[in-house]
Amino acid sequence: MKGGEKGGRKGGRKGGRKGGRKGCEEILISTFTFFTATICCSQLPQFCRRCEVMRMLLADQGQSWKEEVVTLDVWEQGTFKASCLFGQIPKFQDGELTLYQSNAILRHLGRSFGLYGKDQQEAALVDMVNDGLEDLFRRIARQYRHILKEGKDQYQKGLPGHLKPFETLLAQNRGGQSFIVGDQISFADYRLLDVLLNLELLFPGYLNDFPLFSAYVARLKSRPKLKAFLESPEHVNRPLAACIKM
């Protein structure tokens, strides 16, 4: 389904990490085996980090996908942006279905692969966790530049407060030895893992203060396909944000 929004608006989601070996000027298109799904994502900081969750999910579910990378130049040129329904990416193709909005994509994949809890009640809790993580993601992204400039210490002090709800939920579920909701992995687990790993990049070693999360992260990272993905050059070399300019 195409969108015809002209003159859109800039995406408002910011995320970022230093480093990034690929410059904003390069066009990179990687094509993996066969495309059951295409992720049209970006090196732009405001969009970059919204796709790693779906990549982790797809990889862990043994799926392959095609990447179409959008450079800053192409984005700022405007034609492609205007073709995006909300003037934002990611854009996602699942066969003939075109989707925008990263959380809608995530939920679609959740439904497709049975990663949405075992019943309606668990589904509601999975949604609730994801939405809480969405708020946290937006908060980190908004404060990202501030965190980098003003010093991380202050933000790191606030981490326990921000992470407390998720720690509580985890602890209440099988004493923290299982998933964030229920006894099977859900898209909220991939989302939570993504947040915890991103925080590790910003605040190396912080997980030492969160033993439940430490164990949880280690458990998820030991899943063979996910482990392979997380150790792959494509993941390791993909920056949180291609550039600090937001």
Which residues are at the interface with its own copies (CB under 8 A)? 1, 3-9, 12, 85-86, 97, 99-101, 103-105, 107-108, 111-112, 120-121, 123-125, 127-128, 130-132, 135, 165, 168-169
The smaller minimum CB distance to its own copies, of residues 105 and 230, is found at 105
The smaller minimum CB distance to its own copies, of residues 57 and 230, is found at 57
Minimum CB–partner distance for residue 131 and its own copies (Å): 4
Minimum CB–partner distance for residue 44 and its own copies (Å): 17
Minimum CB–partner distance for residue 105 and its own copies (Å): 8
Among residues 183, 211, 178, the alpha carbon closest in space to that of 196 is found at 211
Minimum CB–partner distance for residue 166 and its own copies (Å): 9
Segment holding 39, helix H or strand E = strand 37-42
Minimum CB–partner distance for residue 33 and its own copies (Å): 24
The smaller minimum CB distance to its own copies, of residues 17 and 50, is found at 50
Task: Count the alpha carbons within 13 Å of 22 in the hemisphere toward its beta carbon.
Answer: 25
CA distance linking residue 74 with residue 62, whole number of Å: 31
The smaller minimum CB distance to its own copies, of residues 17 and 191, is found at 191
The smaller minimum CB distance to its own copies, of residues 97 and 218, is found at 97
Which SS3 state, helix, strand or coil, does residue 123 take?
A: helix
Helix, strand, coil % (nearest 5) of the chain? Answer: 55, 10, 40
Beta strands in 79-137 (DSSP E): 91-94, 97-100
Looking up tokens 């964030």, which residue turns up? 180
Which SS3 state, helix, strand or coil, does residue 64 take?
A: coil
Minimum CB–partner distance for residue 189 and its own copies (Å): 16
CA distance linking residue 155 with residue 145, whole number of Å: 12
The smaller minimum CB distance to its own copies, of residues 1 and 29, is found at 1
Which residues have a Cβ under 8 Å from the Cβ of 211 and sit 6 or more positions away?
A: none
